Amino acid sequence: MDKALDFSKASKSYRDNAIVQKQMARSLCLLCEKYFGKKYSKIFEIGCGTGLLSENIVKNFIFDELILNDITDNFTGLNYPFLKGDVTKIDLAKNCNLIISNACFQWILDIEKFLLKIKNSLANDGVLAFSSFGKDNCIQFKSIENTGLFYADYLKILPQCGYEIIEYEKEIQTIYFSSPIEVLRHIKSTGAMVSDNHKWNKERLKTFEARYRELFGDENGVALTYNPVYVLAKAK
C-alpha cells in the first residue's frame, strides 16, 4: 500500500469496535456462496487484520489451501500460511481460485495498478471478492474536518482494468454515539483515524464537538454513517 495503515496498535480494541466490518465480513462470504458456492481450491485473503473475514472463510467455505496476508503480524489466531507484507509491493500468491478482502482496498492509493496486479494471481475463472466503502462513508466527520480517504468508483475502475463485474452491492448504515468524542474514539479504536497536519488540541476538540452536535445530533445521539460496498468480479 502506498500509504499503509498499520493496525497493530488497534488490534486489541478493533474487534470490539468494528461493528460494521464484522457484518461486512459475513455478508461478503454469503455473496460468494450465493454466486460461486462454498468450494474453492486455493483462497488468498488480503489484509486479514484480526481475522474477522478469516474466521468466516474457515467456518463457511471448503478449501484445499488458505493463505492469509497482512502488512503486520498474524493477529488472526489461525494457523494457516501467512504472507507478511505490503500487497502492493510483495509477490502475491498465484493460481488463486478466490482472492478475497474485507474493508482493506480503500487504503490502497493506486487501486488501478493493484487491480491489474491481482489479475496475475487469479487462476483461470478465478474470482475476486472484496468489500470496501463508498463516497458517503464517515461523511459527517469528513464534512467537518475536510479530510478523509478517497473511495474509488469500482463500477468504473474494474472494467477499465479488465474485469467483469458479477455483483455490486452498496449499503448505508448509521451508528449513533453518545457524543462526538465517542465518534472519535470509535474511529481510533478501529485503526481508521485519518491523519492530518495538526493535532487534536483542546480548542479544536471543542469546536469539533459543537459543530458535530449541531449538524448531526438528534434524540438518538450523534450519527456516524458507514457506506459498505461489496464487489464480485472475474478477469475477462
Same domain, 214 and 169: no
For the chain, the domain total comes to 2
Q: Which residues contact 85 (CB under 8 A, 6 or more apart)?
A: 69, 71
Write down the pLDDT at residue 198: 55
How far apart CA 190 and CA 165 sit, in angstroms, is 29
Same domain, 160 and 183: no
Write down the pLDDT at residue 190: 77
Is residue 224 within 8 A of residue 174, CB to CB? The reply is yes
Query: Which residue matches cell numbers 470490539?
Result: 16
Residue 199 resides in a domain: yes
The radius of gyration of the chain's CA atoms, rounded to the nearest angstrom, is: 18
- Checking if the pLDDT of 8 tops 60, the result is no
The CATH number assigned to the domain holding 114 equals 3.40.50.150
Query: Which residue matches cell numbers 476538540?
Result: 205
Question: What does the pLDDT average to over 116-126?
Answer: 96
Each residue's pLDDT tens digit, 167-193: 999 999 999 999 999 999 898 887 655
Residue 110 resides in a domain: yes
In which band, very low, low, confident or very high, does the pLDDT at 230 lie, cut at 50, 70 and 90?
Answer: very high
Cell numbers standing for residue 122: 487469479
Q: Is the dihedral of CA 32, 36, 39, 44 positive or negative?
A: negative
Span of 7-11, 85-89, 117-121 with lowest mean pLDDT: 7-11
- Beta-bridged to residue 168, according to DSSP, are 231
Q: Which residues contact 17 (CB under 8 A, 6 or more apart)?
A: 186, 189, 190
How far apart CA 170 and CA 229 sit, in angstroms, is 4
- Domain carrying residue 187: 176-222
Comparing 196 with 143, the larger pLDDT belongs to 143
Each residue's pLDDT tens digit, 26-85: 999 999 999 999 999 999 999 999 999 999 999 999 999 999 999 999 999 999 999 999
Same domain, 126 and 190: no
Same domain, 42 and 155: yes
Global pTM reads: 0.92
DSSP state of 176: E
Write down the pLDDT at residue 193: 53
Is residue 230 within 8 A of residue 138, CB to CB? The reply is no
Residue 109 resides in a domain: yes
Same domain, 131 and 21: yes
Each residue's pLDDT tens digit, 126-170: 999 999 999 999 999 999 988 878 899 999 999 999 999 999 999
Residue 202 resides in a domain: yes
Write down the pLDDT at residue 4: 42
Same domain, 181 and 162: no
In which band, very low, low, confident or very high, does the pLDDT at 2 lie, cut at 50, 70 and 90?
Answer: very low
